[in-house]
């Protein structure tokens, strides 16, 4: 789910009037980010250590984004008005990535994706304190209803791994923190934030790489060419998903695009079914539907409130 928060990109700032293009590009981004999740889950299943996976994902993401952005934007894209806030956001994003991959190791992809969507509802619930926004009962009700949906998904008897469930809730909390941190760096352009996020994770993981590599080398040496391709694709899918999200928000308002973000649950469920034969049961789909309905409803209410 991790992506560029709408707070970093304003369609109005670009004079965007292409909502259909924005929606199409956003839907493509959900499939790309689901591809990232599926690739990470797959390579962990063949024994690639978490930190090694994260290093490949971050370094290749950073290289691809810089290769695509810097020729047109120049070195000025590296300059941040709030470097400290960018470092903090990058650190939170790294923790969220590690927690998300850990969740995927234990849980099916559809359930993992659905739990992640608790994050924007957490942001709405704490907005009066974290973002100094007016308290609204509608936001707290939406957050409570969304959490009810999560409880249905992780209910006793669901068969979900306890560790995976706990890491899923932790991931949602970390994504919420990431969204809030994104608001702090909104003074920078979205491409600047993308590069800083990738750089913080890449540097931190490279520092600890010497401690990870010795135990990872036997596993890496045993990977088939196809497994190597999937491992390297984590960086590609991550970079593509984030770049597509930036482009989507440049074409259409965030409030218009918000409901379509939930289509990532469909792409996640589809890939989970195609690759692992994992498909949510009826009660899990009920929980997913409650989360989606809660998010879409409060998103629509917020849009109407801003446009009255």
Q: Which residues contact 17 (CB under 8 A, 6 or more apart)?
A: none
**Whether the predicted model's global pTM rises above the 0.85 cut:** yes
User: Is residue 300 situated within a structural domain?
Assistant: yes
pLDDT tens digits for 212-240? Answer: 999 999 999 999 999 999 999 999 999 99
Domain for residue 162, yes or no?
yes
Structural domain including 194 reads: 6-307
Residue with tokens 């700032």, as numbered in its chain: 13
In a domain, 261, yes or no: yes
Ranges of H-type helices in the chain: 19-45, 50-73, 83-106, 109-116, 119-130, 137-153, 162-184, 190-222, 225-251, 254-261, 263-276, 282-307
Rounded distance between C-alpha atoms, residue 280 and residue 264, angstroms: 14
Does a structural domain hold residue 194? yes
Taking only the tens of pLDDT, the chain with its 308 residues reads: 554 444 444 444 444 567 888 889 999 999 999 999 999 999 999 999 999 999 999 999 999 999 999 998 889 999 999 999 999 999 999 999 999 999 999 999 999 999 999 998 898 888 888 878 888 888 889 889 999 999 999 998 888 999 999 999 999 999 999 989 988 888 898 999 999 999 999 999 999 999 999 999 999 999 999 999 999 999 999 999 999 998 888 888 776 787 888 989 999 999 999 999 999 999 999 999 999 999 888 877 877 776 66
Per the structure, how many domains does the chain have?
1
In a domain, 1, yes or no: no
Tokens of 92: 């939170």
Contact 113, 268 (CB under 8 A): yes
Q: Per-residue DSSP letters for 217-275?
A: HHHHHH--HHHHHHHHHHHHHHHHHHHHHHHHHHHS-HHHHHHHHTHHHHHHHHHHHHH
Residue 229 domain-assigned (yes or no) = yes
For residue 249, being part of any structural domain is answered with: yes
């Amino acid at each position: 789910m991790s992506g560029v928060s709408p707070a970093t990109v304003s369609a109005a700032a670009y004079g965007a009037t292409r909502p259909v293009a924005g929606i199409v590009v956003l839907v493509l981004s959900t499939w790309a980010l689901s591809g990232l999740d599926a690739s990470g889950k797959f390579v962990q299943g063949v024994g690639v250590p978490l930190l090694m996976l994260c290093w490949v994902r971050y370094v290749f993401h950073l290289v691809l984004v810089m290769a695509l952005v810097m020729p047109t934007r120049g070195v000025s894209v590296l300059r941040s008005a709030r470097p400290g806030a960018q470092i903090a956001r990058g650190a939170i994003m790294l923790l969220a990535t590690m927690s998300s991959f850990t969740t995927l190791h234990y849980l099916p992809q559809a359930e993992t994706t659905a739990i992640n969507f608790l994050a924007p509802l957490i942001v709405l619930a704490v907005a009066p304190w974290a973002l100094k926004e007016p308290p609204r009962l509608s936001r707290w009700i939406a957050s409570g209803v969304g959490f009810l949906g999560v409880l249905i998904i992780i209910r006793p008897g669901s068969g979900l791994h306890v560790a995976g469930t706990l890491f899923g809730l932790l991931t949602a909390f970390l994504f919420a923190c990431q969204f809030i941190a994104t608001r702090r760096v909104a003074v920078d352009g979205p491409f600047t934030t993308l590069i800083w996020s990738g750089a913080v994770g890449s540097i931190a993981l490279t520092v600890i790489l010497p401690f990870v590599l010795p135990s990872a080398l036997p596993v890496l040496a045993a990977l088939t060419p196809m497994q190597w391709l999937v491992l390297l694709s984590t960086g590609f899918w991550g970079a593509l998903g984030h770049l597509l999200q930036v482009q989507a928000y440049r074409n259409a308002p965030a409030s218009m695009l918000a409901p379509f973000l939930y289509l990532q649950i469909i792409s996640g469920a589809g890939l989970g079914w195609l690759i692992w034969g994992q498909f949510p049961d009826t009660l899990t789909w009920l929980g997913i539907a409650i989360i989606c309905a809660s998010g879409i409803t409060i998103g629509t209410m917020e849009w109407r409130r801003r446009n009255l």
